[in-house]
Every structure is written in C-alpha cells, then in structure tokens.
C-alpha cells in the first residue's frame, strides 16, 4: 500500500515537471552610469557601466562621489545599464577631451567651445546641478491640458549648441554594449542592453526605458532613440517597429515615474489629445507590457486622493517635478498605476483593447552607477546625495527635492525558467514579474476556479498553481455558465536577510454595472494571530524600530504568509483585475539613520520608518 502511494506521488512529480521549474530572479532595469549627461554633471565622473556591473555582481567598488569602498549586501541576478539617449556619453567625452564632433564652422565651433568651457567650469565649481538646470523646462505653465509638446512654453534645452554628437554617442553606446557583453554570464548573471528615452515636455515626465534581449551584433546596428528625435511615445514605438523590422532586434519599453507626469502618462487620450482607439491601445500594450511601479524618486501605486479607503496609500510620495522653479505639485489620477489599471478596463470596454494592461516591476533609476535599493546601504540617487552631509544640498539646485525626499527603492523580480537574456525577456513579455521597494521578497500569486484544498501548504506550490490556475500577469478565463467566485493562491516569503512580513493584501479594481470604476483592498493573510474587525480592518503590526539606535528586531511579523483566498464580492458581469500587495514590518528609513548620525532631533524630511513592500503584476478577469 505504502509503495503505491509513493509511486503515485512520484508519478505526480514527473507529471508536474513537464512544466519547467521557474525561479525568481532579482534585478534592476533602470540604472544610469557616468555616460548619462545628468549623472556626469551631478558628480558621477567615474562609475561607468563596468563599475555598475561589478557592484551588481557583489564586488566592492569605489563610490563615484565620496570615494569610499561600497558593496551591495545581496548581489543582483540581472542588470540593465540604461543611460539617457540624449547627449549619450557627451559630457564625459568633453571632460576627458575625447569629444568627437562635426565641423560647425568658426562661429559654431566657438559656441561649442564656450559651452564646453562652461560645462567644465560648472564641474570645477561644483555647480554641475545648476548647469544641468539650464536644460530643464523653466517654470512651465501647467494650465489646461492640451498637447504639451506643441505648447509655446515647451522650450526645453537648446542642445544644438553641441552640434551633431553622433560620433561621440556612438563610441559611448559601443562601450556600453561591450561592457554588457563582457559581464553577461548565462545562468549566473544577465546583462541586457537598454537606454532611456527622456521625453519631458513642459516638465511632464514621460520617460521610458527601452530594453532588448539581443546582443552586440544587433545592438551595434542602431543608436538609441532619444527624445531629441521626438517627444511623442507614438514616434518611439514607430522607431522600435522599424528598427525591429530592419535589424531583427527585439525591444520593449517601460514607462516610469508616472507620479510626476502632470496627468499625461496614463491619460484618457493620446499625448496629442486624441481619443484612444483600438489601434493606439494595441500598439501601446504591444511595446509597453510592463511599467515601473516604484523607484528612488517615489512610488506610483496610488495616493489617498484617489484611494481614500486604503490606509497604506501615500507610500513614498514624491512631489517634485523635474523642472526649474517651484510649480506646485498637483497629483492627477492619470499619474498613478492603480487608477490607470481601472481606466484600462474602462477603455478596453469602449474600444475593445486595454492599453493599460501591464505588469509591474520596480527599479532604482540611480544615477550613481550603483543599483542601490537596500535602505540601510543606500548610496544616493545622484552621486552627490550619498552622504548625510550632502543630502540636503546637492549644490545650488534649481530642483525642489533633496536626498531625504527619496528612499532606496526598486527591484524588478521575475519568475523565469533560467537566468538568461531569453529567460528574463520572456518573463517580462508574459508579465510574470513583480515589483518590490527594495527587499528581495519572494511572492507568488495564482488565480483559478478550483485549487485543491491543501494547495497552500503544498511543497508543489508552483506546479499546482500553474496546473489549476494562471500566474501573475495572466488572464482568468471564465468557465461557461459557472458563476463561482475565483480563488487566489498566494504565498509570500521574507527576504532572508531582511525584515519579517506584516500582511498580504489583494487589491481589486473593477467596472461596476453602471460603468463606474471601483476598487477595494482586502487583507488576506497576516502575522501574529491578529483579528480582523467587522470592516475587514486589521490592527497595526507594531513597530520594533528603536528611534535612538536605528535598529529593529524581527520579534513581530512572520517569515512566511500563505493563503487560498476567494473573492467574497465576485460578480461575473464585472471585468476586474487583482494584484497582491505584501507589506513588511516597519524598518528604519535612510533619513532616520542620517539624523542619528548628524545628531539631529528629526529627519529633515520624510518619515522615520518605512514599510517596504511588494506588488505583483495583476491577473485580469474579463466578463463575458
């Protein structure tokens, strides 16, 4: 009898292994090196792509500003060095007397020489940030909501003073590709080619990271497409389309920092103000299957203005546009991702295609060459805000934020069959990815109609999840005439070297029968045997952070939370999405550690503690 049981189990095991085993890999798709013009102007003169890879792989490196030896605590599995396409490598080349430009005639050359001199002088004077400010929109008006590109005050940066920088940028791009090829180690560490398209009309951040799983042979057939070519995302997609056609290179684009997009990133219309039609929606979701939920410059999930019943909204709000002057920050629904996911359902009902049906990742956007997402080991957004004494003033700044407005954030987690370019790219495409604000939380979510009862504690969690349901990023297909509610198989495990878990929540958004957008946050699993009240609210987990030492203990919370949850409010007529949010117990924020080191009473800006978190890509349910 015992033999039969074992045989049956072995058989089940064999069956299950038909589906390749997926592992979770952690990385950063958004990192700038000294080849980005703004990184260079802000004191990153030395952390090049090579430094970036050495840091990511866990080696000690020299910090580009404070020159100390720094090292990541837990190495990354993959990295994209994604420098700004605009002026790629130019500042660095000018500084090192390696600029190669076109002949501009005597007057043009004189102008260029003068611009170089000013730039060098700004670097010598340590006023690089101020010089950089010249290239930012100046007190742009934010009235009305027309096409920001065509607005007469959209007078960004006259970069033409540098003439044609193609030669210099080509050298830089090839350096970046060569570094990626040197460091790519299939199975162990993956480097992907990428860059940033930095469109910012009227100070509205529309930036996209573009990444490709292809190598040098393809990468050297084109130059990164920048916003100096066009500020419209449609033109970027057009270029991706043509370049893919011409060279066979595969791409995808990742919007980020929608929180500072002035209501343009996830708008009801295209940037030109035209209604979104099926063609636009199809092109958008083809090229942009994932977005960045969280990074050093703030979190873009949602705010209390748009999610008043979510007690954990307003996480790491960042209220500073990328522009000169102090135009007041005014959040819009079109800036945030939860509202965008709802809007996507609504547009999808109208035009037949959901343009905002994207998966979620985190990344850093660090400009220091160091992918720095460990809060206690945070080495700055720019190179200069890496020490407590330089966080307040990066220089004479035209920008209203400082280092304490930010926290170490952003990891992209992918469930892939192998740690290779192909494996990671495939995971991005099928959205089997999730975001964390830094810690390496391991999160799985599957949705299905009928999971086995013991699935939650099963060793075979992934296989059961895949066999009876769909993973994060997938679509839950209604079975005919069966109006049974869907269930969700969710498991979250703490970062082995970080804090315990507070709770697991499911965030649901849907369109009700009258066409209204709705949302609800459910507490579905939690630590320490707490009890839900009648409204489904859960008492706080507590806080072990000692404000006088900046230390915490794992005496509260749990190392693992798992649940099989059934949607209690399911209505088969309502199209919906579901994503999982996992919260850690509170831990010290970098500002608290700085204030203790500086012997200040309070962190100058920002909260003392932070509840780090993870967000899975949604699973969508489409009503019939």
Partner 1 sequence: MNFFSRQIFKEPLFQFLIIGLVLLGGERLINSEDYGEEQYSIFIDNQILAQFMQRQAKSFKPEDALKTIQGLTYSERQRLIESYVQGEVLYREALALNLERDDQIIRRRLIQKMDYLAQGFYDEKPPLTEADLRAYYDSSREDYKRVATATFTHVFVGSGKDISWEQGKIRALKLLKDLNVDQVPFENSGLYGERFLYNRNYVNRDDDEIASHFGPDFRQEIFAFSPSSPPDPLRWQGPLRSNYGWHLVLMTKKTPMYVPEFQDVSSVVLADVQRQQQREIKRLAIDNLISKYKIIDKAEPK
106 binds partner 1 (CB under 8 A): yes
Give whichever of 4 and 96 is closer to partner 1, judged by the CB atom: 96
111 binds partner 1 (CB under 8 A): yes
Site for partner 1 in 529-568 (CB under 8 A): 559-560
Q: How far is the CB of 204 from partner 1 (least distance, A)?
A: 23
What pairing do the DSSP bridges indicate for beta strands 576-584 and 613-616?
A: antiparallel
Give whichever of 459 and 480 is closer to partner 1, judged by the CB atom: 459
587 binds partner 1 (CB under 8 A): no
6 binds partner 1 (CB under 8 A): yes
Q: How far is the CB of 188 from partner 1 (least distance, A)?
A: 9
109 binds partner 1 (CB under 8 A): yes
Binding marks (x or -) toward partner 1, 151..190, rule CB under 8 A? -------x--x--------------------x--------
Q: What CA–CA distances, in Å, run from 106 to 109, 112, 505?
A: 5, 10, 65
Q: Tokens at residue 280, please?
A: 């636009």
Judged by CB under 8 A, the residue of 1, 457, 481, 534 near partner 1 is 457
- The residue written with tokens 């507070």 in the block is 502
Phi–psi pair at 37, nearest 5 degrees: -60, -40
Phi–psi pair at 450, nearest 5 degrees: -155, 75
Q: Tokens at residue 72, please?
A: 């990541």
Give whichever of 7 and 597 is closer to partner 1, judged by the CB atom: 7
In angstroms, rounded to a whole number, what is the distance separating the alpha carbons of residues 63 and 45? 10
Residues 6+ apart with CB under 8 A from 227: 85, 86, 197, 198, 199, 200
Q: Tokens at residue 45, please?
A: 């003169």
Site for partner 1 in 120-139 (CB under 8 A): 124, 130-131, 134
Q: How far is the CB of 1 from partner 1 (least distance, A)?
A: 15
Segment interacting with partner 1 (CB under 8 A) among 426-434, 455-463, 467-475, 509-517: 455-463
Segment interacting with partner 1 (CB under 8 A) among 202-210, 216-224, 341-349, 490-498: 490-498
- By CB atoms closer than 10 A (0-12, 13-18, 19+), residue 339 is buried
Judged by CB under 8 A, the residue of 66, 95, 141, 238 near partner 1 is 95
| Angle at alpha carbon of residue 41, lines to 39 and 47, rounded to 5° | 45
Give whichever of 161 and 478 is closer to partner 1, judged by the CB atom: 161
Kindly give the residue spans of alpha helices, DSSP state H, lying in 102-141: 105-125, 128-133
Q: List the end-to-end C-alpha distance of the chain, in Å, as a whole number.
A: 47
- By CB atoms closer than 10 A (0-12, 13-18, 19+), residue 134 is middle
1 binds partner 1 (CB under 8 A): no
Give whichever of 120 and 166 is closer to partner 1, judged by the CB atom: 120
71 binds partner 1 (CB under 8 A): no
Tally of CB atoms within 10 A around 152: 6
User: With contact defined as beta carbons under 8 Å apart, do 225 and 210 qualify?
Assistant: yes
Judged by CB under 8 A, the residue of 11, 100, 110, 597 near partner 1 is 110
User: With contact defined as beta carbons under 8 Å apart, do 335 and 299 qualify?
Assistant: no
Q: How far is the CB of 620 from partner 1 (least distance, A)?
A: 29
The footprint of partner 1 (CB under 8 A) covers: 6, 9-10, 13, 50, 74, 95-97, 106, 109-111, 113-115, 118, 124, 130-131, 134, 158, 161, 182, 442, 457-460, 493, 496-497, 559-560
């Amino acid at each position: 009898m015992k033999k039969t049981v074992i045989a049956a189990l072995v058989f089940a095991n064999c069956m299950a292994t038909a589906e390749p085993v997926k592992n979770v890999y952690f990385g950063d798709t958004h990192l700038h090196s000294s080849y980005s013009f703004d990184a260079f102007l802000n004191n990153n003169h030395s952390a090049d792509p090579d430094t970036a890879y050495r840091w990511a792989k866990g080696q000690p490196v020299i910090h580009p500003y404070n020159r100390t030896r720094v090292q990541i605590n837990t190495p990354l599995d993959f990295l994209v060095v994604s420098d700004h396409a605009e002026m790629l490598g130019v500042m660095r080349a000018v500084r090192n007397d390696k600029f190669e430009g076109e002949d501009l005639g005597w007057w043009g050359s004189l102008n260029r020489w003068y611009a170089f001199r000013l730039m060098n002088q700004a670097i010598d004077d340590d006023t690089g940030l101020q010089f950089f400010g010249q290239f930012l929109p100046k007190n742009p008006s934010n009235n009305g909501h027309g096409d920001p590109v065509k607005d007469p005050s959209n007078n960004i940066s006259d970069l033409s003073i540098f003439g044609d920088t193609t030669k210099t940028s080509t050298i830089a791009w090839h350096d970046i590709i060569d570094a990626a090829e040197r460091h790519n180690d299939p199975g162990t560490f993956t480097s992907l080619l990428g860059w940033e398209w930095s469109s910012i009309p009227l100070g509205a951040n529309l930036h996209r990271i573009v990444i490709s799983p292809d190598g040098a042979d393809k990468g050297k057939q084109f130059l990164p497409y920048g916003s100096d070519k066009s500020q419209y995302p449609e033109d970027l997609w057009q270029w991706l389309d043509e370049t893919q056609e011409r060279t066979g290179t595969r791409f995808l684009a990742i919007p980020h920092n929608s929180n500072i997009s002035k209501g343009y990133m996830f708008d009801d219309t295209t940037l030109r103000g035209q209604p979104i039609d099926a063609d636009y929606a199809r092109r958008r979701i083809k090229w942009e299957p994932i977005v960045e939920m969280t990074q050093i410059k703030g979190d873009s999930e949602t705010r209390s203005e748009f999610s008043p019943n979510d007690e954990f909204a307003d996480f790491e709000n960042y209220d500073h546009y990328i522009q000169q002057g102090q135009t007041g920050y005014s959040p819009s629904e079109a800036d945030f991702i939860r509202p965008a996911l709802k809007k996507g359902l609504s547009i999808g009902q109208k035009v037949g295609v959901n343009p905002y049906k994207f998966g979620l990742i985190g990344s850093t956007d660090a400009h220091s060459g160091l992918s720095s997402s460990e809060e206690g080991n945070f080495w700055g957004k720019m190179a200069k805000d890496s020490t407590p004494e330089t966080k307040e003033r990066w220089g004479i700044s035209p920008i209203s934020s400082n280092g304490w407005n930010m926290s170490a954030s952003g990891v992209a987690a992918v469930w892939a069959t192998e740690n290779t370019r192909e494996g990671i790219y495939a995971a991005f495409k099928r959205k089997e990815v999730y975001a964390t604000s830094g810690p390496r939380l391991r999160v799985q979510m599957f949705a299905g109609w009928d999971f086995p009862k013991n699935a939650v504690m099963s060793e075979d969690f992934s296989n059961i999840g895949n066999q009876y349901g769909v993973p994060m990023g997938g679509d839950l297909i209604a079975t005919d005439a069966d109006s049974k509610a869907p269930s969700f198989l969710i498991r979250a495990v703490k970062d082995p070297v970080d804090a315990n878990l507070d709770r697991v929540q499911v965030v649901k958004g849907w369109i009700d029968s009258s066409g209204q957008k709705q949302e609800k946050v459910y507490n579905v699993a939690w630590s320490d045997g707490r009890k839900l009240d009648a409204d489904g609210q859960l008492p706080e987990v507590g806080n072990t952070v000692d404000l006088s030492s900046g230390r915490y203990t794992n005496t509260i919370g749990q190392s693992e939370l798992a649940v099989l949850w059934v949607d209690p409010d399911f209505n088969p007529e309502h199209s919906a999405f579901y994503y999982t949010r996992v919260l850690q117990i509170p831990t010290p924020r970098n500002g608290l550690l700085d204030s203790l080191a500086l012997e200040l009473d309070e962190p100058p800006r920002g909260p003392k503690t932070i509840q780090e978190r993870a967000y899975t890509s949604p699973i969508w349910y489409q009503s019939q």
